[in-house]
Structure 1
Amino acid sequence: MAQSNTPKLREVARAEKEPTESSTPVVRAIDVGFGLVKLSVPAGDGVQFISFPSMAIPADASAVRTLGTRRRDTFDVPVNGALYEVGRDVGLAQAGGSFGRDVTDEFYRGAIYEALTKGALRYMAEAGDTVIDVLVLGLPVNQYNDAKRRDYLRATYENEIDIGDGKKITVRKVIVQAQPMGGYAALDDHLDELNRVITSTGGALKPLNSGEELDDLAVLMIDPGEHTLDWLLIQQGTINPRASGAASDAGRHRVVRSVVESLGSDVGRPLGPAVLPRINEALRKKTPVKLSGVAHDLNRYEPVIMSVIEDSINRMVDGLRDAHEIVDLIVLVGGHPERYRDVLVKRFPAIPVFIMPESMAANVRGFQMIGEALAAG
């Protein structure tokens, strides 16, 4: 969708439709972020959305791992002849603050990404899937714009996939999307909430009568992720590639690092990487963080946090190349985007700034909708 002649979302099913053997195709979606893997799994007659941390730890084959009062919710999946532990409880296998993660530009083709994707497929298999007709995968905007990366994902995962413990799952077709495009696809489901924000903003944009009217607008989708800030400018349902992009080291990890550095200075000792997840969790829950038996209130670091977010927004505005002048609507997806909203409202007071409900899973929900549209045709 990086080309100027990209078909509109609502026309994509006609443009890319490929028949499947099943009268009710199985459609699944996976959004591998730097912080969390979000995915759809079968549930009754539909799907539900779940997540697990984006960590893959070399599997521990020792008997110590089996000790405890319950089995942890993880799987060992094979990658390049080795086994990696992935899943909801993978933090119990963690040996350091950043161990088991990959935040490089080659993330999409590395062992960590493959292990996480296979872990998501394993959750689908455990829920009953054996064959997936259409699998929708996401990439950060800067990686999606490289056709070789999209081709690599299709070539790698349109296959029979070994997902560990003698289990396999077959994927017949892979669709690759830019991550914020999922949130755009899901906007139709939230018109009432969106119209309330439009009305309260009081700018030139009037409430929408239907989702079809979104295709007449210039919508700026913003996804503040764990390590990158992604944005897509969508005009008349089509991505404007020249005004879309990503800023590295502009996501939540930078916010957490800034708090760690400030807190370390106040307590008079350097804080190691193992502290990062605890501070991240404390910021999410808006609670004090406990270190060496002492509770530290993180509210005093709010000015530091806001300065980091303002800098990230400045980088995005610069990357828009003055296209912010034509934006009708700003939509935020991703985890905990409230502070980004506050900065954007102050910067663009006449443009409605809407946070997608359940914003953490907004992209994967939209991926599921795109896949279902393609499958149904």
Structure 2
Amino acid sequence: MNIVGLDIGYSNLKLAYGNSEKGMQTAIRPAGAAPADRFGSRFDGKEQDDFLHVLVGDEPFIAGVSSDRAEMWERSLHSEYARTPSYTALFHAGLLLSGMTEVDVLVTGLPVDQYKDEVRRAELEKQFIGKHKITPKRTVEISKVKVVAQPTGGLFDMISQDDEENPLIDEDARILVVDPGFFSLDWVLISNGQLQRGSSGTSHQASSVLLEQAGILIAEEYGSKPTVETFEKAIRAGKKSLLVMGQRVDIEPYLKRASDLLSANTATSILTSLRVEKMSPDIVVLVGGGADFFRGAVQTAFPKLKVISPQNPVLSIARGYWELGAA
């Protein structure tokens, strides 16, 4: 059975794919996507070798690149993201990266506030199921689509990594799963094997806001504010510093200060949603690309609880989707 777990984020496209008998492979690309005519040529005349060329309808798009590569094209940072051409281009790019022409099960997700909307879930399932012409010479057919709340994927990934002999997660535990993404910070409470909708939610005080705040802090001391995209590229590349007005600046202290400034809002949003429950969570699972940025805030909100994460949490949602499809 061919399975695809597709996590189309605002900052990164994450993919887990493979046959259920042969196992999972993963891929990650930046989540920039725009019409092909919005991209210029390299200054040295060489070919752009990192472009993924796809179709959106009949229009050529380039996807899987940093969002600041396109000229005269704004990235989508709003709740209607799943309805945009860029999102469709990234969906097609994910199918292209999988190398599959037939997909038995595709699992994807929505932010918690959108997942609660049955119409929105049905719309995304309809958008993904069926035949898709992703390039002039390649068509992919998807037989079944499942849409879940985004943090759920991270929990499946954590459970698949847990040590069966010495598990971190008790099977009777009430589990709070927190997923700090680029545009939204989502959380779900799982109790008795069920998602408690009244205690699950979404905040927009997420990684993009944190990076914007870090840029403001740097500007106050160095006179110029690095863009969010500049931070993104540095973090993807594993760089510890940025060049600001010709001077190298260590970004770690500014990310920490920005996280501390947002921590109160983060804690308040989650704790407020949990007031409807008679019991607190037993453990917190922190997943997603912003896990390291928000670890301190989450631990502050739940000082008595253990906060755990799967390995390489940036891919945890997509890996969990694949595990869910395989199950």
Please confirm whether the aligned pair reaches a TM-score higher than 0.5, indicating the same fold: yes
Amino acid at match of 1:36: N
Task: Kindly indicate which of the two structures has a greater share of residues assigned to helix.
Answer: 1
Q: Shift of the alpha carbon at 1:299? A: 4.2
- In the other structure, the counterpart of 1:315 is 269
Amino acid at match of 2:243: K
Matches within 5 A, 1:149-168: 149-168=120-139
Give the conservation status (yes or no) of the 8 Å contact 1:54–1:101: no
Q: Shift of the alpha carbon at 1:71? A: 4.3
Separation of aligned partners in 2, 1:306 and 1:228: 17
- In the other structure, the counterpart of 1:372 is 326
Give the conservation status (yes or no) of the 8 Å contact 1:330–1:354: yes
Compared CA separation, residues 194 and 112, structure 1 to 2 (3 A):
farther
Q: Residue deviations 1:152-207, cap 9 Å, x none?
A: 11212211101013211111111111111111122322323995xxxxxxxxxxx6
Matches within 5 A, 1:217-236: 217-236=173-192
Compared CA separation, residues 141 and 36, structure 1 to 2 (3 A):
same
- Runs of at least 5 residues in structure 2 that lack an aligned partner in the other structure: none
Q: Shift of the alpha carbon at 1:38? A: 0.7
What's the % identity of the aligned pairs?
A: 27
Separation of aligned partners in 2, 1:264 and 1:308: 18
Q: Shift of the alpha carbon at 1:62? A: 8.4
Amino acid at match of 2:202: A
Matches within 5 A, 1:1-377: 25-42=1-18, 45-60=22-37, 64=41, 68-69=45-46, 71-87=48-64, 89-90=65-66, 93-95=69-71, 99-124=73-98, 127=99, 129-192=100-163, 213-214=170-171, 216-248=172-204, 250-269=205-224, 271=225, 275-282=227-234, 285=238, 287-301=240-254, 302-321=256-275, 323=277, 325-373=279-327
Q: Residue deviations 1:215-257, cap 9 Å, x none?
A: x221000000001110000001100000001011x11111111
Give the conservation status (yes or no) of the 8 Å contact 1:108–1:149: no
Q: Shift of the alpha carbon at 1:304? A: 3.5
Give the conservation status (yes or no) of the 8 Å contact 2:121–2:147: yes
Separation of aligned partners in 1, 2:108 and 2:7: 6
- In the other structure, the counterpart of 1:7 is none
Amino acid at match of 1:223: D
Give the conservation status (yes or no) of the 8 Å contact 1:138–1:176: yes
Give the conservation status (yes or no) of the 8 Å contact 1:118–1:163: yes
Separation of aligned partners in 1, 2:67 and 2:82: 22
Task: Kindly indicate which of the two structures has a greater share of residues assigned to strand.
Answer: 2
Compared CA separation, residues 38 and 178, structure 1 to 2 (3 A):
same
Helix, strand or coil for the counterpart of 1:296? strand
Q: Shift of the alpha carbon at 1:282? A: 4.3
Higher Rg: 1
Separation of aligned partners in 2, 1:343 and 1:224: 11
Give the conservation status (yes or no) of the 8 Å contact 2:3–2:17: no
Give the conservation status (yes or no) of the 8 Å contact 2:106–2:325: yes
Amino acid at match of 2:13: V
Helix, strand or coil for the counterpart of 2:214? helix
- In the other structure, the counterpart of 1:204 is none
Which is bigger in relative contact order (C-alpha 8 A, separation at least 6)?
1
Compared CA separation, residues 90 and 194, structure 1 to 2 (3 A):
farther
Q: Residue deviations 1:328-355, cap 9 Å, x none?
A: 1100001141342223333323211111
Separation of aligned partners in 2, 1:66 and 1:372: 45
Compared CA separation, residues 82 and 309, structure 1 to 2 (3 A):
farther
